Structure 1
Amino acid sequence: MEPVSLFDLATKQSEWLAVRQSAIAGNIANANTPGYTANDVEPFEKVLDRAVVSLQATQAGHLGGATNASFKVKPDEADGAIMPSKNTVVLEDQLMKAGEVRRSFELNTAIVKAFHSMMMMAVKS
């Protein structure tokens, strides 16, 4: 049975969410560090836009391709809220982003569970 691309997409989003969660955790940890610039990860949509879509090899000798799953951590755009110490971390914003990541993880997991359940019912039939 061939892997379904939905599982691959869910895996890539899960990896992206893990990188984003690490960036947010680093921002929160450095909230009082003078001169620290808050970081975030580029939107997942941009990661998908960079992905190369190609045919997969079904036999040896067939041409195949790979997708680009690198996630770029970049400085977060400051909304004018820069502390006197030149720190750009706003804890409220970071906590809201952490909540978004949690909800996205939960949605990702629920979709994978539902799709896995449908696949298992199709295989049993």
Structure 2
Amino acid sequence: MFEKLQIFRMAHAMAQHAGARQSVLARNMANADTPGYAARDVAPFAETYRNDAGFAPRTTRPGHMSESAGGHAVEIRDASRGQTDPNGNSVSLETEMLKAVDTKRQHDRALAIYKSSLTVLRAATGRR
């Protein structure tokens, strides 16, 4: 009965998504001065979770599936939405830092959902 609780799967998927997005954002910040580098991002969690296709493949070794982050689809953002540097770089450190804070909040939210669900499950089984 309790083997496949959807709330735990969703919290796990949300935490995985936050980790993958944080990795992509860190790569963007590291390449902020690289000429011609296009900023990348991971598809939003709601879209990825709804399709359930973003969690299927896994990276098995460094360099394997280099355009993905832990199995999540990485997309190149359109440079016309933001400004680009004269060298063709589309990374804005301020924007990336704000996205990193949002991603940390997403990860914290996933942990809170997991802990709260575990507390409810313990109460339902009579354990405290």
TM-score scaled by length of structure 1: 0.81
Equivalent in the alignment of 2:5: 4
Q: Pick 1 or 2: higher relative contact order, CA cutoff 8 A, min separation 6.
A: 2
RMSD over aligned Cα, in angstroms? 1.5
**Alignment partners' CA distance in 2, 1:95 and 1:123:** 42
Q: Which residue of 2 aligns with 1:102?
A: 104
Compared CA separation, residues 36 and 68, structure 1 to 2 (3 A): closer
Instruction: Note the residue ranges of structure 2 that are not aligned, 5 or more in a row.
Output: 57-71
The aligned residue for residue 25 of structure 1 is 26
Sequence identity (%): 32
Structure 1 gap ranges (5+): 52-66
Q: Secondary structure of 2:78's match?
A: coil
- Tell me which structure has the larger Cα radius of gyration: 1
Cα offset for 1:123?
0.8
Q: How far apart are residue 68 of structure 1 and its match?
A: 5.7
Mapping 1:61-80, distance limit 5 Å: 69-70=55-56, 71-78=72-79, 79-80=81-82
- Corresponding residue for residue 59 of structure 1: none
Matching residue of 1:91 = 93
Count the aligned residue pairs.
Answer: 110
Question: 2:13 touches 2:49 (CA, 8 Å); kept in 1?
Answer: no
1:6 Cα deviation after fit: 0.6
